[in-house]
């Protein structure tokens, strides 16, 4: 038997081994078969790397090649922290600072338009009800193509709305560059589908927390890793998703920054977004935690578009 046959995982049949052998011997199919064999070897034997987790600073980090079962072209070498479970996916990085127009961002059914409010509006409306009060200062963090800030501004409890991002494309006077220092603080910050794009959450989250007033509320929307098969989690392979959090990782981020946290399930988790979709609440105030509990005492799910 040719030596390359020993690279195939033992559980495959002899028929499959012969097919792989023919594929490797053919000049036309050899590159594709070598790539497939390489992926299997890497998946079967995770490699330890001398890295440091951005969140808990543990050096117990495992590098593992993961390949999406529905699209083998999407294969990444991820770094998995053995302490807090955080999964870094640096190979999936997308530089949003290079975007020159809003049209470069996707326009999906969940993105707010002038005619139809989207996910940020639903999250902000919930946050406003949790906080109560009037003349609330609100920030929509990383809205992409969404114009939900217009709908949020129309809520009677809201006093001001600003957009926070790393690149200014909405051409609004109330824009805040989050990479620069600002004295502005907000009652409510909405970050929908943003934190999974963080490349260094250990430093990116403190910048986000700093935008909150002392008793302010941050509401994030993301997927939370449940320990399942990473090859089947489409969220990890979505363009630009460089961070995949576990509950332990979120807890560590909160505790290290003097924050409290809470998880809630949005309606969209029961339909389009899948079972791992969560809204994550952060606040320094125990009173806000009580307000969150009070709200969900009469709401089974968090609202979503």
Question: pLDDT means per 10 residues in the chain (305 residues)?
Answer: 32 52 64 50 42 95 96 96 97 76 61 77 95 94 84 95 78 80 95 94 95 97 96 95 98 98 92 86 97 97 86
DSSP-derived letter for residue 203 is H
- Domain range for 269 is 102-225+255-296
Question: 31 and 111 share a domain?
Answer: no
Question: 25 and 121 share a domain?
Answer: no
Question: 21 and 121 share a domain?
Answer: no
Domain count, the chain: 2
3-state secondary structure at position 137: strand
The per-residue pLDDT for 6 is 31
pTM, entire model? 0.81
The per-residue pLDDT for 236 is 96
Which are the contacts of 115, defined by CB distance < 8 A and separation ≥ 6?
none
Residues making up the chain, counted from first to last: 305
Please report whether residue 160 resides in a domain: yes
Question: 120 and 268 share a domain?
Answer: yes
Q: How does strand 158-165 pair with strand 175-177?
A: parallel
Which are the contacts of 22, defined by CB distance < 8 A and separation ≥ 6?
none
CATH number at residue 291: 3.40.50.150
Find residue 260's DSSP bridge partners: 283
The per-residue pLDDT for 30 is 61
Nearest-angstrom CA–CA distance, 82 and 98: 34
Nearest-angstrom CA–CA distance, 28 and 256: 54
Find residue 114's DSSP bridge partners: none
The per-residue pLDDT for 116 is 82
Please report whether residue 86 resides in a domain: no
The per-residue pLDDT for 3 is 31
The per-residue pLDDT for 143 is 81
């Amino acid at each position: 038997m040719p030596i390359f046959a020993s690279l195939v995982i033992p559980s495959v049949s002899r028929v499959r081994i012969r097919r792989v052998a023919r594929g490797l011997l053919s000049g036309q199919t050899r590159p594709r078969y070598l790539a497939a064999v390489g992926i299997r070897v890497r998946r079967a034997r995770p490699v330890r790397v001398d890295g440091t987790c951005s969140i808990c600073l543990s050096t117990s980090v495992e590098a593992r090649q993961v390949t999406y079962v529905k699209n083998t072209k999407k294969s990444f070498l991820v770094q998995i922290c053995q302490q807090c479970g955080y999964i870094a996916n640096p190979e999936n990085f997308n530089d949003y600072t290079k975007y020159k127009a809003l049209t470069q961002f996707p326009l999906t059914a969940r993105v707010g338009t002038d005619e139809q409010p989207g996910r940020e509006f639903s999250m902000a409306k919930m946050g406003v009800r949790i906080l109560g009060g009037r003349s609330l200062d609100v920030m929509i963090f990383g809205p992409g193509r969404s114009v939900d800030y217009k709908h949020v501004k129309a809520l009677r409890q809201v006093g001001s709305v600003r957009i926070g991002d790393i690149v200014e494309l909405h051409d609004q006077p109330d824009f805040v560059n989050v990479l620069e220092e600002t004295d502005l603080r907000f009652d409510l910050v909405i970050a929908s589908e943003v934190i999974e794009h963080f490349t260094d959450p250990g430093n990116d989250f403190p910048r986000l927390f700093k935008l909150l007033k002392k008793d302010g509320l941050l509401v994030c929307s993301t997927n939370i890793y449940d320990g399942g098969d990473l090859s089947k989690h489409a969220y990890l392979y979505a363009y630009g998703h460089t961070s995949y959090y576990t509950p332990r990782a979120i807890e560590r981020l909160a505790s290290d920054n003097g924050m409290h946290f809470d998880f809630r399930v949005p309606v969209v988790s029961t339909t389009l977004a899948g079972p791992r979709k969560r809204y994550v609440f952060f606040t320094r105030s125990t009173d806000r935690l009580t307000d969150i509990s009070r709200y969900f005492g009469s709401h089974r799910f968090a609202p979503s578009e």
